[in-house]
Structures are given as C-alpha cells and as structure tokens.
Chain A
Amino acid sequence: MSDLSLERAAPRGMIALRGDFDSLAGPCREITGADLPAPLGAAGEGRALLWMSPDELLLLCDPGDVGEVLARLGEALAAQHHLASDVSDARVVFTLRGPGVRDALARITPCDMRPGRFHVGQVRRTRLGQVAAAIRLTGDAAAEVYCFRSVGDYVERLLATALESANRERVAL
C-alpha cells in the first residue's frame, strides 16, 4: 500500500521558448546554468529547461524573475528568429508524491509509465483523461503534472481519483 499525495504547486515562472536550439543553447546556459536537455529530457536545478519539441523549450524560473529572464532572452536573441512567451499564468502544475506515482498515472494516460521506458528526469507531453498534459518524473516516487489553467479543476479531480485508487491498490507498476 503506497501513500500518495497530490498538491497544486505554487505559481512558478514559465516561459515557452521557441527557436533553433543551436542559438538557444548559449543564452539558456547563461540564464539557467544548464545545457539544453536531450529530447524528452529536462535540465537544470532551480531554473530548469524542459524539452517540449524539437524547436520548443519550457524555461522554469521564479515567478518574479520572468520579466528579467524575458528581457535577457530578448537581448541575447535579438538577432535570432525566436519566440519567447510568458506562459506562467496559462498553466497549473501539480506535484505528486509517493511510490505509486507511476501506477496512479497509468490509470489516466496512454503514456508508457514503465521505469525502463519513462526515466526519472524525463518529460512526456501526452493525454491525461480527456485533456492534454505534460508529465515530468522528478524522482522514483515523485512527478509533476502540467496542464492548462482552465482545466485545472478537472485534472486535479482526475489525479485525485487516480491517486485514491492507486493508494488502495497498486496494480502493475
């Protein structure tokens, strides 16, 4: 029997950054201290970079730093074709903790949650119930779920239902 918990995370700064990865690498390293993540990966502590697609990253920072980070990006990338958008208010993040995290999520996503297929540190954009969401495995027993703000209540209830069931019975993961 696992003991899973669910929390709506405190607001965080999120910047959707599109561009050629070669030109994004330098400014991103300066701002986050991290190299660009591999596909489906994440990089950085504190300020972090999540891989969204071959031309998109999600840069995470303190909500208060968004303006400064956007300004620095704009300056560093002034000569490069890119698009940096503040999406901090567009999404909500949930944190899930407990050893049954994979098992709970397997109830609501077609994404392969097996340890050998979805590694700790990776990010998967997928479907959660009936909406789009991203899952970031932050540890063996911890995950973050990102979804659009408007469906936050739906996702929260969906996660709570899955967690409650996984708390009752670990099925396969």
Chain B
Amino acid sequence: MKSRKPKLAVWKFASCDGCQLTILDCEDEFLKLASEIEIAYFPEATKKVVKGPYDLSLVEGSITTPHDAKRIQEVRNASKYLVTIGACATSGGIQALRNFQNVAQFASIVYARPDYIQTLEKSTPISANVKVDFELQGCPISKHQILEVISAFLNHRKPQIPAHSVCMECKAKGVVCVMVAKGIPCLGPITHAGCGALCPAYNRGCYGCYGPKETPNIPSLMRWWEGELGVKRQDSVRVLRTFNSAAKPFEEASTQMEKEGA
C-alpha cells in the first residue's frame, strides 16, 4: 500500500533552533522516523535536499523580515500540511517583544549602520502570514508531542495534544501546587499543557513557555497574584511578556494591565 515514503521538511525562520534540536534529540525515535518517512529538507540534520512538494512541513521561527514574509509563502505552496513548531512560529516568539516598542529606535542604538538592517516592525506568527494546519506550542516544543504530531499527520488522525491547563498535568503527576502551598506565582492555570509541569515539579512557578491554554482567564489570575501574593503590576506585565508575549490572550492582558497602570 505504501507506494512511497511521505516527505518531511523542516524549515527555519527567526528562531533559536531549539525546536529543531528537540526533533534531533528524539534519537532512537528519530531513526525510526527516518525509516518511515523521507527527510526531504532539514538543513539542521542533513545537507541532502529533495525537491518538493512535501507531505508535511514543520516550520520553526517567526516572520521578521520582508524576505521571510515571501519565503513562507513558497513553503506553504510546496506543502500539503504545514505545522508550526514552537513559540516563535506559533506566537511570534521572544523577538515579538519588539511589537511593544519602536523598532527603528532599537536598530539605531544596536547597529552602527541601521540602514543595512531590513526588518519588519513586528515579529508575527506563521498563521498571520499563511494558512496553518496545526500549531504545536512550547518553548521549546516537547519531544513526545512532536512525535505525536508527526504520527498523527502521517496517519491522518487528530494529534492528541490537549489544549487544557498545565495544572491538569501537574495534578495528574501528583505535584503539589506551588501557588497554593507556597505562595509562588505560577502561570500554570492559564498556560497550555505539554511540558509535563516541568517547573512546578522542580518547585518553581510556571513561566508560560507553552503559551496560553484554551479560554485562559488571565485577568482573574493576575488579580489573585496582586491581591493575595503581593505581585506588583509591572512584574505581572513582564511575566506575560516573555516567550509568548504576542500570543493574543497574553498580549491583550498585558496591554490592558499596562493601560490600567499600577
């Protein structure tokens, strides 16, 4: 039945390569993957380049330059399924912090010749540029989840990537809630599951690396932080502006809080 192996491509845009490294980090599973699919384009792993079209494209990174804005269209055109991997590709990444500032001003401070710099005013997620078939959140993505997504797409099923809170995995693991038991501010209740509650399991609050969960109620959590845990408004804003600052719910909440002031 399997006439040819499906072709997989992995693309890089503005990003740190961490999500691609997660794929390489799959090791044993990666070898199995290589026997089931043709790794047609993955410069981080192999120099070999097989021409498109591709059955599944994994896209890392956000769109920050005019050149990339054009390139992502080409990737989309060459791909049957396009899945974004990681915070950059899904929400604009840490580089989307520029979205809240004046980029020209930054460039003038950082570069000797800012006129050489061709950059867009905003770092945007892939979905703001082309149609996306699935978004895998996480900074970086989880090894277990990327394998699940690849398996799901190759078998034409829905990936088992629950969009609920980190709390659900935290509690299922039996981890004691750091916020309730220790008063440590934690973003777990508004953050998308997938990391296996890594930080709370090591006695730290969640930093929201996996971005917003489905229907997050950010104002309520922030009211509790401020009222009960004594977190300052400006610190709450900063916590929401890390890896997923431009994810819609985070962006809206932090902007609103900034407007309301201290």
Real complex partners, A and B? no
Residues in B lying within 8 Å of A, measured CB to CB: none
Which A residues form the contact surface with B (CB < 8 A)?
Answer: none
